[in-house]
Amino acid sequence: MLENPPNLGSPPSGSPSGPALDLAGVSVRVTGRTLLHEITWRVEYGEHWVVLGGNGAGKTTLLSVASAVRHPSSGTAEVLGRRLGRVDLRELRSHIGLVAASQRLVDEELLEGEGATAHTVVLTGHTGTSLPLWDRYDDAARDRARRLLADLGCAALAERPFRVLSQGERARVRVARALMPDPALLLLDEPFAGLDLPAREDLLDSLQALPGSRPDLTTITVTHHLEEVPSTTTHALLLRGGRVLAAGKAHETITDEGLSACFGRPLRVHHLDGRWHVQSLRASS
Ligand SMILES: Nc1ncnc2c1ncn2[C@@H]1O[C@H](COP(=O)(O)OP(=O)(O)OP(=O)(O)O)[C@@H](O)[C@H]1O
């Protein structure tokens, strides 16, 4: 047990002791297949991780454990100081912000059909529901939803129907929604999927501003693309075939050797003005 576990009734204040995420020997098996092999991974509060790996490496499966959606088949997983299997997962999930662009919000279509505005979509993050529960939203919640939209550079979109928003605008509204309950942990599963270059850069700017305004927030971003790694990233985990190839400080982990092993081809990594870029040596030779 942690000496001072974060107060899950309200957002942690100051820097809580103990890790935000602590996986020890975590394996995930489905019939006939092992999707994750004995993952050991520790994420401290205030760290900003990127999980890199090719298609099918196990990134989404790993995030499903970190987001308290899935139990490990073996090993132990502690999220925000709570051991999966011993706590109410729904209550724990209310302290975790999850953005998964590839999996639309459960009832996004329903929200669209209802003509929900961007502000309403963010408000549903307050109750963790697909549809708005109007009697649960006081003035403070409504103001907070507006402030979050402004933080994500979307203040002008507040009253616009969600269904008419561009993919880039939707991506930022989803992040605002995920931040609505003031989560201790923000998990982003391919948040840049389907975005063009300006939309990607806008979302990156917004994500890179988060550590400044929320010093205790811990983030984990899953991506295939090095160009999408926020400049505020502190740590990286490289995944291949459901196994951790390397995990540690970003500069020590995102290397030519590490990335080449992770993606199974010779790669050269460049780090320029805080951003990462990759060059395929096979393509250029
Ligand atoms: N329920 C399941 N049953 C069987 N296999 C599964 C199941 N869920 C995932 N897989 C397989 O596990 C592997 C890892 O999947 P996962 O979605 O975690 O990978 P990923 O790294 O997120 O991939 P991508 O980048 O393509 O989204 C894949 O080969 C996938 O087909």
Range 224-249 average pLDDT: 96
Q: Which atom of ligand 1 is nearest to the CA of 102?
A: 27
Nearest by Cα to 102 from 21, 184, 282, 223: 223
User: pLDDT tens-digit profile of 36-72?
Assistant: 999 999 999 999 999 999 999 999 999 999 999 899 9
Averaged pLDDT score across all residues of the chain: 88
| 105: pLDDT strictly greater than 60 | no
Ordered by where they begin, the domains of the chain are 1-95+185-285 (3.40.50.300), 101-182 (3.40.50.300)
How many Cβ atoms sit within 10 Å of the Cβ of residue 269?
A: 16
Nearest by Cα to 6 from 69, 75, 96: 96
**Tokens of residue 238, six digits:** 């490289």
> Rounded distance, CA 85 to CA 66, Å?
13
Residues contacting 30, CB < 8 A, separation 6+: none
ipTM of the complex: 0.96
Q: Place 107 in a pLDDT band, splitting at 50, 70 and 90.
A: low
> What's the 139 CA to ligand 1 centre distance in angstroms?
42
Range 276-281 average pLDDT: 92
Q: Which residue out of 27, 52, 60, 102 has the highest number of ligand 1 atoms within 8 Å of its CB and is therefore the one to mutate?
A: 60
> What's the 30 CA to ligand 1 centre distance in angstroms?
11
Q: Which residue out of 37, 39, 61 has the highest number of ligand 1 atoms within 8 Å of its CB and is therefore the one to mutate?
A: 61
Edge-to-edge, what's the strand order for the sheet holding 185-189? 96-100, 185-189, 218-223, 48-52, 235-240, 243-249
